[in-house]
Structure 1
């Protein structure tokens, strides 16, 4: 069964640079379909800030042909032990909005999910370079909305130069995530995400953009000293 994984890890500067420049591929990691390696950013940080791009803190999003391939990778690949020492969640694909050439073949919808159960969302985009200032202007309020939302248990953003950007969020429930998306949350300025989406529809920020939704299957390791980052992870 195809599975996806998302990883967070502290690595050496050399390991981080190598992963960004030459990430693992299906040719080097049997059973891997595709892997995105990015540097973490702190959500809501100033545009010019050491927190905006954290070169020694990696985020990795990957699709595997089977779970055993991920297990082998974490042991045998040069990057694997560094990721194994961090935190990751294994996920079952549920649905997508739009698509990316790097992840072909994913159906629009693969399953249903209880609106009150936990859910994971991943966005991945290839930016139009001239649109980056405009994207930051409209995107930073959304970053703060997501970062501070009571329905979120973990939210990170990541970037790989020159133009790939990603966000990863773990939600207590699908219902809370959808309320945020549609501007119906009981928080200050709840329409920030909806406003940014309307601006993207007016003139797209991206060459490619997709949002993926997943059911968490299992959680492994710790991040920043914390475990249990997926709500009710003991019940997964």
Structure 2
């Protein structure tokens, strides 16, 4: 992944991007899966993404070497917080009235945090309970822990049946609710970002199937 950074910096229409390693757990776990990685990217317009996939040697190399690949296109519904000091989707991404509260449909969620060094032990002690809750949560279609740096800069990307399933996990599950409360009370994070999206197109497989099919 490291060798792809210079080429990505010069990609036309690529507004924001992060190359991410992945964990072995459903959320922000200690274990790493060295055979799997992800690119999270924000594009100025869809034509730039199409051009990247069609002509970039990076995209061609990934396709040629991957045993399995999956991609999803996302439209932001709401976002709060920062990633590396910036708001990836522009200042104050508004709620889109009705789109994620009525009518149902799949929802993607990204949670990302920079964990304070003094809070690392407390944070990772809380992860196994949240992982168990996630794996057994009704309405969770797929989930993976990702990160920029080992341990301190972590994120979770998940796909859900609908907004109601996201809400049930976030606020009705005791383990996750307790982690949220401790996070705020003990200031575990120096920076965080929470974003919701509508997935509108996907391609490939994730663990043998397209979770949005």
1:57 paired to 2:42: no
In the other structure, the counterpart of 1:167 is 156
1:182 paired to 2:182: no
From the superposition, tell whether residues 44 and 221 of structure 1 become closer, same or farther in structure 2 (CA, over 3 Å): closer
Please say if residues 64 and 70 of structure 1, whose CA atoms lie closer than 8 Å, have aligned partners that are also in contact: yes
Structure 2: how far apart are the matches of 1:108 and 1:174? Answer: 18
In the other structure, the counterpart of 1:152 is 140
Structure 1: how far apart are the matches of 2:188 and 2:44? Answer: 31
In the other structure, the counterpart of 2:128 is 140
Greater shift, 81-90 or 116-125, is seen at 81-90
- The two structures have a TM-score, normalised by structure 2, of 0.85
User: Which one of the candidate residues 45, 64, 74 is aligned to 1:66?
Assistant: 45
Please give the secondary structure, in 1, of the residue aligned with 2:187.
coil
Structure 2 unpaired stretches of 5+: none
- The two structures have a TM-score, normalised by structure 1, of 0.77
- What does the per-residue CA deviation read over 1:163-217, in whole Å, with 9 as the maximum and x for residues that have no partner? 321101100010111111112xxxxxx2111100100011122221011000111
Structure 1: how far apart are the matches of 2:43 and 2:195? Answer: 15
From the superposition, tell whether residues 119 and 44 of structure 1 become closer, same or farther in structure 2 (CA, over 3 Å): closer
Structure 1: how far apart are the matches of 2:200 and 2:62? Answer: 18
> Could you tell me how far 1:76 is from its partner in structure 2?
2.9
> Could you tell me how far 1:110 is from its partner in structure 2?
3.9
Structure 2: how far apart are the matches of 1:177 and 1:131? Answer: 26
In the other structure, the counterpart of 2:59 is 80
Structure 2: how far apart are the matches of 1:136 and 1:23? Answer: 32
In the other structure, the counterpart of 2:197 is 214
What RMSD in Å do the two structures reach over aligned CA positions? Answer: 2.3
Aligned residue pairs: how many? 203
In the other structure, the counterpart of 2:118 is 130
> Could you tell me how far 1:24 is from its partner in structure 2?
5.2
Relative contact order, higher structure (CA 8 A, sep 6+): 2
